[in-house]
Amino acid sequence: MCVKRGALTVAILRHGSGHTPGLRKRNEYCGVSGFISRHDVNHLLYFSLRALQHRGQESAGIAVYDGQKIVLHRGMGLVHQVFSKLILDSLKGTVGIGHVRYSTTGGSVEENAQPLHIYNLQHEIAIAHNGEIVNVSEIKSFLGKIGAAFTTKSDSEVIARLLSFHITRHGIVEGIKRTVRDLRGSFSLALLIDNRLFAVRDPLGIRPLAVGEIDGGFGIASESVAFHSIGGEFIRDVMPGEILELTPDGLITHHIFERKYKAHCMFEYVYFARADSIINGKCVYDVRRRIGQILAREHPADADFVVPVPDSGRAHALGYAEGSGIPYAEGLMKNRYVERTFILPSQETRVKEINLKLSPVKSVVDGKRIVLIDDSIVRGNTMRKIVRMLKQAGAREVHVRVGSPPIIAPCYLGIDMKTRDQFIANGKNIEEIAKAIEADSLGYISIDGLVEAIGIPKEHLCLGCLTARYPVPIDGEKIRFQSDLEDF
């Protein structure tokens, strides 16, 4: 591997106003992958996307370089719905990228599906993006002045057009560097530029991105589980700020943008990532189990059983059972064929889906005192329904314990939690929240407890939605540290 650390490029944009509250439409949370090999990569891309399906269920896409040009297929739905065997077999090429996406209300349309594919006079570019750019208006206004036209509402297109602008003038690697300099926010990118594959991670390392090896080549994926599912091997994380090129023979680090502090998203560990992933060197399952153990120490309860909200509360609940000595039991069963509640687009849909998704195991809960463990509480609707469901099934007491501290502020960096009035914890004390969700008692893990469980120093984590202090400048919000401001 060769690592070059060059002088930073001169940014063309002054970072000024950036995000405008109320105008934000591009709230995406996604999974990306990319492979280069001596063999065709279409099946590697397909199965890697299936392993990343939990990161996005609304659309999927694959772009490959077929030896002469980039060919692409995208569509709405789950990966196996978007790609028939015929379509997948037509995507022949030894290098390519893939994407799974979900969006909030209004953004769930095919034009916003990725990978995004654009041309300029010299290059073809396909881009798969996980994250959220907060200075989109500023970049769009710059690109608009030089004649760029936009065909989607996606911030990923803004990245692609900016990249096209820079690489036309400065060549591919220097163009990527300049693009990274100009972007503010979270971005893990898989880039296919003609027949070359690059991975780029934002300098704060907000979203995950992993590198792996497969027979005959190398790959990148949002989470390490993607490599296991195709018989490959996880090598390491793409480093925060790294511009990495993958070739069939190895990896070339072209540049690393260094920052004093990182800002790994705590929510990846708490909820979003798959439990068997390794992110920033930490196994997500182990983190969730430690969260449960610390929760038992911070908020003990007198109860007969520890019951998880399946599936994401399972490891937390196991940890709580270990920490408290109270037996673990599966008191709720999940219908696996209903999509994840949190990522269904509308509030109304979410509430209806809860009954379809979970049902109580009466023999476990009837007449019992239950410690109910979930990874987080955002709006509180789901938790209230579950508590009611357990009580209707005969539970004597339901003590709720939560694996994330109270969420009080929006996420501007790629998780769909947008306005303060959505959050049940906003403006309510613990007793009021317990009453609202109809629990007999309620305990959230502390911020220090969460940091201890993750095992990464607090100054290298993003805790913005817990503290209302963010690692990038956002209009109307407080910055985390002064040095975060100086870094931009």
Cβ(275)–Cβ(284) below 8 Å: yes
Of the candidates 71, 329, 415, 442, which one interacts with ligand SF4 according to CB under 6 A? 415
Is 30 an annotated catalytic residue? yes
CA 255 to chain centre: 24
How far apart, in Å, do the first and last CA atoms of the chain sit? 29
The runs of H, that is alpha helices, within 393-437 are 430-437
| Cα 332 from Cα 142, distance rounded (Å) | 53
| Cα 431 from Cα 233, distance rounded (Å) | 47
The footprint of ligand SF4 on this chain (CB under 6 A) covers a number of residues equal to 11
Instruction: State how beta strands 2-3 and 250-256 pair.
Output: parallel
291 binds ligand SF4 (CB under 6 A): no
Of the candidates 266, 301, 306, 472, which one interacts with ligand SF4 according to CB under 6 A? 266
| Cα 264 from Cα 281, distance rounded (Å) | 11
451 binds ligand SF4 (CB under 6 A): no
450 binds ligand SF4 (CB under 6 A): no
Report CA-CA distances (Å) from 463 to 265, 275, 451.
7, 20, 10
208 binds ligand SF4 (CB under 6 A): no
Of the candidates 44, 287, 465, 472, which one interacts with ligand SF4 according to CB under 6 A? 465
462 binds ligand SF4 (CB under 6 A): yes
270 binds ligand SF4 (CB under 6 A): no
265 binds ligand SF4 (CB under 6 A): yes
Residue number with CB closer to ligand SF4 (114 or 376): 376
The answer to whether the Cα torsion of 174, 178, 179, 184 is positive or negative is positive
- Position 377, amino acid: I
317 binds ligand SF4 (CB under 6 A): no
The single residue of 30, 411, 462, 465 carrying the catalytic annotation is 30
Of the candidates 113, 136, 256, 413, which one interacts with ligand SF4 according to CB under 6 A? 413
Q: Which of 30, 26, 96 is nearest to 67 (CA)?
A: 96
206 binds ligand SF4 (CB under 6 A): yes
411 binds ligand SF4 (CB under 6 A): yes
Tokens read off for 87: 């379509």
Q: How near is the Cβ of 197 to ligand SF4 at its closest, in Å?
A: 26
Of the candidates 267, 269, 305, 328, which one interacts with ligand SF4 according to CB under 6 A? 267
Active site residues: 30
Q: Which residues bind ligand SF4 (CB under 6 A)?
A: 206, 265-267, 411, 413, 415, 462-465
